[in-house]
Amino acid sequence: MAGQEREVKRADGVTLLCVFLMMLLIIPARLVISGIPMSITPATLTGIMLGVIWLCCQLVTTLGVAKGRNIARTALFLFACSQLATYGYATRNYLPSDEAAGADRTIVVVFGSICVGIAACDGVKNLMRLDVLLRFMTVLIGVVAFIGFLQFAAGFDVTKYLAVPGLRPVTDDGFVLARAAFRRPAGTTGHPIEFGVVCAIGVPLAAHYAYRAKDAGEKAGKWWLCLGIIAAGAVVSLSRSAILGLCLAGLVLMIGWPARRRVQGLMAAAVFLGVLRLVVPGLIGTLYSLFDSIGDDPSISGRTDDYASAGVQIAKHFLLGRGNGTYLSEKYGPLDNQYLGTLVQNGYVGLGVLVFLFLAGMWAAARARALSPDPVIRDLALSLIAAQSIVALGAATFDLLWFSTGTGLTFVLVGASGALLRVVKTQEPVLPPMWKAVR
């Protein structure tokens, strides 16, 4: 309006993190930057740029970037130190060219992810901006789930047509596999298992925003639709990791939710499964068979066949591991367990730091929940705990950190939990209008 000054909204850390999430979730994981010897995705490059910007912001005090101790920040720092120590240990002597290339690429990818976590922890100014970040991430996960559902239902893989100038595919085909009579979609991720886990991560966050809109008296239909699409994506992935993650997240939410919402959640889950059974006949039976015949499943026995060779490598390099990225699946066999893979490649030091990273993120959210009297903040913290419990469980059922999308979301969640704790502890909450209405 005339005579009134307009507030200029400048880009901040959340803006840059949203750009990273766009790169991570919308651009197919199989597309990497052309002209670079190692396979680096645009999301990894964006994460490294975020790290450079964070370092520059730490040199001054006028840009609003948080400073000081934070348990999530400490965990990210220790994880970075363990990765550097392992890389130095692995490269101090001769490595075969393929293993050396794997170690070089992995250290770049890992530090790109660490930079994203630190940027999220220190670059979120207040609860309103954190809300923007998590909303945006939830919507993008919904887009990924919708793409995956198209792959599942119609066999239409839109990712084959997402040709981005300057990027090249590392494989000629997509990642749509098959199980029983159904297609196993991957969306824009690198594998159906990763797709299922990514969708499972979005379920507690989408449920938080759906219930929040409902409690505030606003139109919640779009969030319920988003929740349904994301949950459907997790189910049609036909992944044990996704189903187990959903069960664990549901247990966490049931513990923290009030009694009325528990009943509503159980009823909504029953209706969802009933609708899915009618729309996709045979899907629920296929999911049941994944666990009923788990003892005879060749995919399970294949995951345990390489434990003997892994044990030999652990005995040789028990402290710092043989080198992250040097245990190549095509050379030594797959290790579909991130904890075992970390023990082989990063040793007991790396495994301890990885577990601490997961626990630190959940503890930061739990501490923020304990400190805040605001029911909406407490529910958001509970949703972050549930999402990170899916990550921690998924790391036991597949090699989580080998896949870029799951890795990126893991570090965003840890950083967001640290940011939530920092804001709740150090400043008066700046709440969106919806939050004020609920209070």
Residue 1 banded pLDDT, cuts 50, 70, 90: very low
Q: How far apart are CA 138 and CA 40, in angstroms?
A: 25
pLDDT at 174: 54
Apex CA 242: angle with CA 357 and CA 256, to 5°? 65
Q: What pLDDT, on a 0 to 100 scale, did the predictor assign at position 7? A: 47
CA torsion through residues 47, 48, 49, 55, sign:
positive
- pTM for this structure? 0.90
Q: What's the pLDDT at 343?
A: 92
Instruction: Report the distance separating Cα 7 and Cα 16, nearest Å.
Output: 20
What's 38's DSSP letter? Answer: S
Answer yes or no: is pLDDT of 337 > 80.
Answer: yes
Asked whether 197 and 241 are in contact (CB, 8 A), the reply is yes
Greater pLDDT, 216 or 54: 54
112-167 per-position pLDDT tens digit: 999 999 999 999 988 999 999 999 999 999 999 999 988 888 777 788 777 788 88
Predicted confidence (pLDDT) at residue 215 exceeds the cutoff of 80 = yes
Question: C-alpha angle with apex 19: 25 to 159, nearest 5 degrees?
Answer: 30
Q: Residue 291 and residue 278: Cα distance in Å, rounded?
A: 21
Q: What is the number of H-type helices and E-type strands within the chain?
A: 17, 4
**Tell me, what's the pLDDT at 206?**
95
Res. 82 pLDDT band, cuts 50 70 90: very high
Check whether 94 has a pLDDT greater than 90: no
Tens of pLDDT, residues 249-261? 999 999 999 999 9
pLDDT in tens, 274-306: 888 888 877 777 777 777 666 556 555 556 666
Distance, CA of 246 to CA of 370 (rounded, Å)? 24
Does residue 47 or residue 427 have the better pLDDT? 47
DSSP 427: S
For residue 430, pLDDT over 60 is answered with no
Length of the chain: 439
Helix (H) or strand (E) holding 31: strand 31-33
What is the distance between the alpha carbons of residues 108 and 38, in angstroms, rounded to a whole number?
A: 10
pLDDT-derived band at 336 (thresholds 50, 70, 90) equals confident
Residue 439 DSSP label: -
Q: How far apart are CA 347 and CA 334, in angstroms?
A: 17
Looking up tokens 């666990």 gives 291
Say if residue 3's pLDDT is above 50: no
pLDDT tens per residue, range 352-379? 999 999 999 999 999 999 999 999 999 9
Q: Strands, DSSP E only, in 158-304?
A: 167-169, 177-179, 182-184
310/179 Cα distance (integer angstroms): 28
Which is more confident, 330 or 5?
Answer: 330
On average, the pLDDT of the chain sits at: 86
Q: At what angle do helices 192-215 and 240-256 cross, to 10 degrees?
A: 20
More confident residue, 171 or 399: 399
Residues 178-210: pLDDT tens digits?
555 678 888 889 888 999 999 999 999 999 999
Spatial separation of the C-alpha atoms in residues 64 and 41, rounded to whole Å: 29
The reported pLDDT for the residue numbered 38 is: 81
In this structure, are residues 118 and 76 in contact, taking their beta carbons and an 8 Å threshold?
A: yes
Contact of 244 with 294, CB cutoff 8 Å:
no
